[in-house]
Structure 1
Amino acid sequence: MVLIKDQLNRNLTINVTPKRIVCLVPSQTELLYDLGLEQSIVGITKFCVHPTHFKSTIQIVGGTKNIKIEKIKALNPDIILCNKEENTKEIVEACKNICTTHVSDIYTIKDCVLLINQYGEIFDRKENALEIIDKINFNLKDFKNFIKDKPVIKVIYFIWRKPWMVAASKTFINYLLELNKFENVYKELERYPEIDIKEIATQNKQIIALLSSEPYPFKREHALEIEKNNIKTVLVDGEMFSWYGSRLIKSFNYFKTLRQNL
């Protein structure tokens, strides 16, 4: 029996190790795979793109905010994994009526480590979880040594177009921007506000606009729209800035390369 609180501080009692998992969070699906749980995953979302073969081998139950609840019920899951940001409150409530539902809530690497530890306990993969955490911590320490003498760079992190939206404070993205010594121009705002790109022309011209590959797939033609406002742009891998779990093992080397190329 496992007694834990999920990251919404809800008490969960898990009497038997879950053997049938539905995961509604792309980065957590990747984490499950890296924990060695592929054979236990029975349902994922259409956005769970890593590992790539899952889309053809595992039942897709909709999107992160538009699930097919009857498909989930038919899979007879033992546990459903959600995230406060990725999934709506209504989705979580509906899933709770099917089986045990664990909800993550991620803002920092400490939160990520807690989640990995919890999955290690819930799914009897403690050694696998510890291995992933050790790799994350090793790469994080190395990155902190790399970044400590680098100058602070002002950035705007775009996540959407029409309307133009950016990542602001109280997000995991903003936490990783700070770790990279990127000063978020919109750090005084919260979550994912809409902005007027014409207004950024009045900002300091040393600002760099980071255009994420997700959730909106920014391309070079979109960068040109922003560059008309005299702002430098860089296309960045959104998974490195917003996926937690085992993806963090790869993120810090990516951040090194990004900084060296600016």
Structure 2
Amino acid sequence: MAPPRVISLVPSLTETLFALGAGATLIARTRYCVEPVGAVEGLPVVGGPKDPDVDAIIQLRPSLVLMGVEENRREDYDRLRAAGLEIFPARVRSVADVPPVVVEIGRRLGTLDAARAIASEIEGAAESVVTFVADVQRQAEQGLLHVFCPIWRDPWMVASQGTYLADVLRRVGLPSLLHHPEAADGSAYREVELDEIVEVDPGLVLLPSEPYPFGPDDRDEILSWPLRASRERQVHLVDGRMLTWYGARTASALHALSLLALRWVGAEDEPKTAPPTIH
């Protein structure tokens, strides 16, 4: 049997392939597939998640294309399917969705044992975090702490409740009144106006590095807004991959974010038992 020939159109799944020991199966990637550093740079680039070079992908004749329901476009999926390519469309809207996705990829690539090990780590981290963030939730509720975590600006946009990002924040004890249920049209994101943000008065603002590359200038702008978070200097730049990259990174992201959450809400004592550091 010929070895698998995989093209990944999802950066976090590209990283996960290497964690599974299946990096050698990858024959092309998107320009945003930059991890692991030192392992992907020599691979051909076939556009981005939202604008893949479909013709180039078809010409490479992969045996499997990894896509994400949220990250990639349906029209590109349809064209690749029409060309007869096998596609695995990952549907991840919560932390609980990640282990089955990892296991299925491992099954298809012959790395099932490694996939089950990563899935077990994710499940263990998620379970540990439930207890670990009790202090975060308690203090957040007492202080009426709500989080504003935009994914874009001009216009400002936030994720809906039915997204991986919103679930990660919820699991580490950082709720948001701005994460409304999914829109009737199925959109995972929605625009928010400054007046709405001010009305919610978040006590914490997280500015991720992706998909929009928030930086110091954005932080300085929000610090001037009439928000509790601004008055208390609780506006923080964070690694967006902790919030949006699912797969091999999920377990360690939950651990890191839970520790940061404790710091942000000013918990006096850290729990006696912390989730294990993974990867």
TM-score, with structure 1 as normaliser: 0.88
- State the match for 2:25 in structure 1: 40
RMSD across aligned positions (CA): 1.7
Unaligned runs of 5+ in 2: 183-187, 230-234, 265-279
Q: Distance in 2 between matches of 1:64 and 1:195?
A: 25
- Say which of 207, 216, 222 aligns to 2:203: 207
In 2, are the aligned partners of 1:78 and 1:100 still within 8 Å (CA)? yes
Offset, 1:253: 2.1
Q: Pairwise mapping of residues 240-251 of structure 1 onto structure 2 (< 5 A)?
A: 240-251=242-253
Offset, 1:223: 1.3
- Say which of 75, 91, 100 aligns to 2:86: 100
Q: Which amino acid aligns with 2:223?
A: E
* Cα shift readout 1:15-62 (whole Å, capped 9, x = no counterpart): x67610011011111111111111110011011111123442111100
Cα separation, partners in 2 of 1:18 and 1:198, compared to 1, 3 Å: farther
Larger mean Cα displacement after TM superposition, 143-152 or 84-93: 143-152
Offset, 1:147: 0.7
- State the match for 2:102 in structure 1: 116
Residue 182 of structure 1 aligns to a residue whose secondary structure is coil
Offset, 1:142: 2.5
In 1, are the aligned partners of 2:5 and 2:64 still within 8 Å (CA)? yes
- State the match for 1:171 in structure 2: 163
Q: Distance in 2 between matches of 1:203 and 1:141?
A: 30
Offset, 1:166: 1.3
The answer to whether structure 1 residue 84 and structure 2 residue 69 are counterparts is yes
Cα separation, partners in 2 of 1:223 and 1:36, compared to 1, 3 Å: same
Offset, 1:110: 2.2
In 1, are the aligned partners of 2:243 and 2:253 still within 8 Å (CA)? yes
Q: Which amino acid aligns with 1:178?
A: R
Q: Distance in 1 between matches of 2:50 and 2:39?
A: 19
The answer to whether structure 1 residue 160 and structure 2 residue 152 are counterparts is yes
Q: How many residues align?
A: 246
Unaligned runs of 5+ in 1: 1-15
Q: Distance in 1 between matches of 2:121 and 2:102?
A: 12
Residue 59 of structure 1 aligns to a residue whose secondary structure is coil
Q: Distance in 2 between matches of 1:121 and 1:99?
A: 18
In 1, are the aligned partners of 2:146 and 2:176 still within 8 Å (CA)? yes
Residue 56 of structure 1 aligns to a residue whose secondary structure is coil
Q: Which amino acid aligns with 1:239?
A: R
The answer to whether structure 1 residue 145 and structure 2 residue 147 are counterparts is no
Larger mean Cα displacement after TM superposition, 57-66 or 164-173: 164-173
